[in-house]
A and B are shown apart, each in its own frame.
Chain A
């Protein structure tokens, strides 16, 4: 919004436009390089390191689901861990107990998560965002107790080991870990592209209009309820997909990984990367994966890691709402203006 005025008094639009075009090209080059590097990673690093990167990619997808819901649509979900959990347990139960194939079980998990998302979004619709925060807070809190209640099928607190292993097609000659990594990478890239394209589409503009000025948007004929429910369902579906990937990476699921804290961590990841930025989701995912190791490396007791997250969340909301992506953007704008 501010760029129009800023540009006029600084320099001619052409120069700024050219500079911006150059930055856009740099952005795409970095993206392509990252994809190539990502695809080659199984042959570059150890299996253990790869499993950590896999974890970061799963977390990125979880953060992306928050970007879509909170960043673009302005709804708060504190129950994202439950949607991830639905996706993860769908894979664990359908594959282990019912002999489904992994892709079919993941697809079922996505459908179930999206359905649960619709059920959650509907009652909160008539009211302000406050109530979505409330119901999803409840869902995040209740989910682990549901897992315990149905311990016969879910394995309860002890968790559930998934069997048979998720094996790569034999022709590829890859280990399960490498195969799970590559699948995660491809799924994440597809989802990133989806949200990126959605942002600029007319549906994406409606989603953002609901966030910025719901009453005005409604006046312009944006179907408020339908947009909110659809966004919630899409976000839950992405979270469910993340859960499926989590399941194939670990070959094990337990409620401890899917508590309210997980939801809050996704929130932190979103804020760190930048709530409206698609690449920001990846930054957030890698942050969540590596920050605990980093703080421990710096000699901070692990018990204080959440305090650091909380402090960061507060600082970001106050000083840098755009997160990492926002900082990069302002840096670029500062250089293009000259």
Chain B
């Protein structure tokens, strides 16, 4: 029972990370209606920036804040300069291909500009754990959970209770009518990409103490985040969080209790979840059904 509880806690804390990146994916999906395959790489790049700043002697928290701001600016700039010229609300293929190009470029630039070595980054949360019976709950996991919950709450509030959020939803659901109402779709896209990149940067900084900082640090995490977003529903921030936690727990449990899977095949678990969700409930737990128009 203790082992089970411990695994539950471990699963939830990795789930928080998946949730954070899944939130970024959902944000881009809601803002632009497409997938950003470079989401993990953008976050990794920001994480290297944060590491570089601490390396130059900055304290951790200001470095993370600077990285998050850089993420917002960089994300918005990428949307404006690289994504927008190929953006087409009917055909998502060009944008996905361009994000693939971004993935390649950022991966290689991070290695070239920073380092190809593995670096360490400290945690902004106190070390140590809270003991509940035999179960250890690391303070970092609690901190992570609080931050992620607050962010998803903020995102939900923005989308559903503010004019900005309404405008963003409108410009995805019905771009032409939204434009007629004077909503500047282009600005919405830029904000969406910027916010997603900022979120990704934060997620990367928070996960870095465990994964270390290297160019491939988020490759696996990105797949779990995609799984989380699929499970929760691609257009639902709450779904991303619930999906992230579920995927985290599932991954830890399957790896822990199914000997054959172990740690080697835990990515496979994610893939199986994606396929099962797409077959049984393609909209995910909280997503809305997708409609097609001529």
Contacts and interface: CB of A to CB of B under 8 A. Distances in A.
Contact of B264 (A129, A134, A148): A148
Given A134-B226, A303-B108, A306-B108, A314 B102 contact: yes
B108 A314 contact: no
Interface residues of B, number: 46
A135 B102 contact: no
A267 B97 contact: yes
Interface in B186-227: 219-220, 223, 226-227
A129 B97 CA distance: 12
Nearest to A76: B96
Contact of B98 (A127, A145, A317): A317
Contact of B93 (A76, A122, A127, A311): A76
Interface residues on A, range: 35 or more
A145 B264 contact: yes
Contacts of A317: 86, 94, 97-98, 101
A215 B107 CA distance: 37
Contacts of A314: 82, 98, 101-102, 105
Contacts of B111: 303
B294 A141 contact: no
A321 B82 CA distance: 15
A138 B270 contact: yes
Contact of B223 (A138, A264, A310): A138
B109 interface: yes
B97 A313 contact: yes
B107 A306 contact: yes
Contacts of B109: 304, 307
A326 B290 CA distance: 34
A133 B108 contact: no
A304 B108 CA distance: 6
Contacts of A311: 101, 105
Nearest to B283: A127
Contact of B226 (A126, A127, A138): A138
A215 to B, nearest CB: 6
A97 B102 CA distance: 41
A130 interface: yes
Nearest to B81: A314
A321 to B, nearest CB: 8
A70 B267 CA distance: 25
Contacts of A74: 93
Given A134-B226, A137-B226, A215-B294, A127 B282 contact: yes
A318 B86 contact: yes
A130 B96 contact: yes
Interface in A195-227: 215-216
Interface stretch (B145-153, B158-166, B273-281): B273-281
A297 interface: no
B154 interface: no
A310 B93 contact: no
A185 to B, nearest CB: 30
Contacts of A122: 279
B217 to A, nearest CB: 14
A264 B104 contact: yes
A134 B105 CA distance: 20
Contacts of B274: 134-135, 138
B85 interface: yes
Contacts of A123: 275, 278-279
B125 to A, nearest CB: 29
A63 to B, nearest CB: 14
A128 B290 contact: yes
A24 interface: no
A123 B281 CA distance: 11
Q: Which of B86, B105, B111, B220 gathers most chain A CB within 10 Å?
A: B105
A305 interface: yes
B239 to A, nearest CB: 15
A313 B104 contact: yes
Nearest to A321: B94
The 6 closest A-B pairs by CB, nearest first: A310-B105, A310-B104, A313-B101, A306-B108, A307-B108, A138-B271
7 contacts: A129-B93, A131-B230, A134-B230, A137-B223, A141-B219, A303-B116, A313-B97
Given A130-B92, A137-B223, 16 more contacts: A76-B97, A124-B278, A127-B290, A128-B92, A128-B290, A129-B92, A134-B35, A137-B226, A138-B270, A141-B219, A268-B104, A271-B97, A306-B104, A314-B98, A317-B101, A321-B94
